[in-house]
Structure 1
Amino acid sequence: MRTCVLSREEAPRDGLIRLALSPDGEVLPDVRAKAPGRGAWIGVTRAELEASGKKLKGVLARAFKGAELRIPEDLGARIEEQLQRNALDRLGLEFKAGNIAIGGDRIQEAGRSGRLHLLLHASDASEDGARKLAQAWRVGLDEEGSGRKGLTLPIPRTILSLALGRENVVHAGLTDAKAAARTREALDRWLHFIGPDSTSRPCETASQGASALPSEASDDERQTEGL
């Protein structure tokens, strides 16, 4: 368990975001919690973080025991970028491990046979397609009428396709329970941080397209990993 320095609420560390100091005192996101040295944990949304103002510097100064620190103005954006990369990297790894089905027919088959554990849709997926897959999932779980449906991600099919290394991926289904739990954990941290309106503002910039590729690391990640 860890305590959020802003809200003072306790939560499992896997549900929080770690901040670390670079050698020159810059506060950087360390979403995989691998950087050495003292860290500070936050569990608030991006909007709450950016509204914290001077309070953030004060609590971080205490967390880092009075060390000289510099908080970048775009800290929220950097955290969001790393969380998105972490989630999409997880999807890429699970796909390579054979734990993700893509294509409507394969997902429907997995759903109806009870092998579907998590259903994901790109932000630009059609409602009709998403509805059919969700129906197959409910049938396989014997939960017709339950309202269970897939999770719509705040990224379009182009970014989801890059993450999985395939073309035109609109839907994805996790067919292994442990893989679904790992994926959901990474997705939940990302989606919690960007807030409830995230699915209404999907982004597709050049930098985000690059960040979806599991083989490349962002500048922030390289700096954090070198701490």
Structure 2
Amino acid sequence: MSLTVLIPARLASTRLPNKPLADIAGLPMIVRVAQRVSSGLGAGTRVVVAGDSPGIVQACQQHGVEVVLTRVDHPSGSDRLAEACDLLKLPDEALVVNVQGDEPLIDPALVSAVAELLRQRPEASMSTAAHPIHEVADFVNPNVVKVVLDARDLALYFSRAPIAWWRDGFAQGVKTLPDPAPLRHIGIYGYRAGFLRQFPKLAQAPIEVTEALEQLRAMWHGHRIAVHVTQQAPGAGVDTPEDLARVRRLFAA
């Protein structure tokens, strides 16, 4: 099965306008992400940016990055990826990994692991990744998404709440973490192209709306998500001007 890495990119960002085109050591951020992914994957892997503006398309083409122009009005990244699958005429059995366009520090080995996991787990419609949480502040932070797995490393549930929650946690005042360590979800996804085309057509799930987590839609409709557990936390993405300044310093060094 062929592997295509799709990197969605849109100009609209409330905290960091024109984020995909932000300069990082002389290159637009979206180009940095594509080059980083390409540097660690096999020659047969296709890396494609799915942009929503001519500016993104032009920036990618200037630096030899494959790109497709998608509609501006997509309600979610999944809709954009589904359109990209059609534009690229990917067969339903093709493997697709979604890498966010604001992660210039992404580890290509993680991309490979998520793709390989889906290749090995035909019972799963999706794959993703997680790593152990070591700080109480992360465990109770609703912006840090947690995941609980079954014995086969298939996701049982994703939540912004601290899960799995141990019985005496409240009594201890959340000063320690449960054992074994809870898992933080990493926002990278593998799909089969056929499922990716189907996913935006599925009805929204009540738990998806409550948690504001799109992956819960797949689980609510009975699809399984395989999870690769890594001990290494990924490099932080770029969401704010402060994040961008930090990444620029890292590349400058």
TM-score in terms of structure 2 length: 0.27
Q: Which has the higher helix share?
A: 1
Q: Which has the higher strand share?
A: 2
TM-score in terms of structure 1 length: 0.29
